[in-house]
Amino acid sequence: MNITNNQNETSVFPIGNRGSAEWFSGEVHVQGLVSPEQMEGLYNVGQVTFSPGGRTHWHTHPIGQVLLVIEGEGWYQERGEPAQVLTKGTTIAIPKDVEHWHGASADSKMVHIAISNMFEGSNVTWMTPVTDEEYAEVSK
Amino acid sequence: MNITNNQNETSVFPIGNRGSAEWFSGEVHVQGLVSPEQMEGLYNVGQVTFSPGGRTHWHTHPIGQVLLVIEGEGWYQERGEPAQVLTKGTTIAIPKDVEHWHGASADSKMVHIAISNMFEGSNVTWMTPVTDEEYAEVSK
């Protein structure tokens, strides 16, 4: 049994460390919660906090990913599809190999838990940034 | 992509339906969030809300389970081990085949997200109830 007690004033879990600019635009923080080694290599679990305007790059997952939005407001968009609004309580089951991005709205933070399924040592393939033009388009 | 928007005033997700007395003692509510069919058969994800004194029966998981405590206070105990306090922000990675129970404290509700890994169509083996004597022992 692995047990960790975390708490801060603003969210359920600590905000964690700044996410890499290789994968995120704007201010994004990532807090690991469960590693694959703790759960039979199946997935990792983490909390991602997007400051207003912060977002992932376009990416895919080899087996899929679950997002559980626990705070704030934001966007989820699959390539070629309209963006979906994310709010506290939104659950998304992202299928494998579907190109997409997620992030905060322009004027609100957004916090989600992510369950990222592992396949051959990886759980994501990163692609190009979501441009300011693409981001402006969804928030019109 | 499967998307669900849920919200209520007191928790991140809706409280859901009353859990069966075959598996729980006291007042426990379960809200499904992601089914195995939505995520390659790997696991299901749900929210469990334990009213004060509410708890699971003793049980095991064939591949393991992750608990993410998002509200309240409670207990996690493995057979033969001291009970661990659960509070908002506690993360537990429960190994496979370890007999244990979890629930609320006697004077507080406890809400957790559970990620329950599937093995041959099942994610849990239920055992005997946690008796009032066993429960009183941990909350001394």
The secondary structure of A2-13 as a DSSP string is EEE----SSSSS
The class (CATH top level) of A30-138 is mainly beta
Residue in the block written with tokens 């790059």: A57
State the best of B5, B48, B113 to mutate against chain A, taking most chain A CBs within 10 Å. Answer: B5
Tell me the per-residue pLDDT of B40-80, one tens digit each, with 9 for 90 and over: 999 999 999 999 999 999 999 999 999 999 999 999 999 99
Kindly report the pTM of this predicted structure: 0.92
Which fold, B17-138?
A: Jelly Rolls (2.60.120)
How far is residue B16's CA from residue B27's CA, in Å, rounded to a whole number? 12
List the single residue in B1, B87, B113 with the smallest CB-CB distance to A92. Answer: B1
What's the average model confidence in pLDDT over A112-125? 96
Reported ipTM: 0.91
Contacts of B50 (CB under 8 A, 6+ apart): B26, B27, B28, B72, B74, B102, B103, B104, B109, B110, B111
State the best of A31, A66, A86, A100 to mutate against chain B, taking most chain B CBs within 10 Å. Answer: A66
What's the average model confidence in pLDDT over A101-128? 97
B16: left (phi over 0), alpha (psi -120 to 50) or beta: left
In percent, the amount of chain B with pLDDT more than 90 equals 91
List the single residue in A6, A13, A84 with the smallest CB-CB distance to B3. Answer: A84
Distances (CA, A) of A47 to A17, A39, A50, A120: 11, 17, 10, 22
Integer Rg of chain A from CA: 14
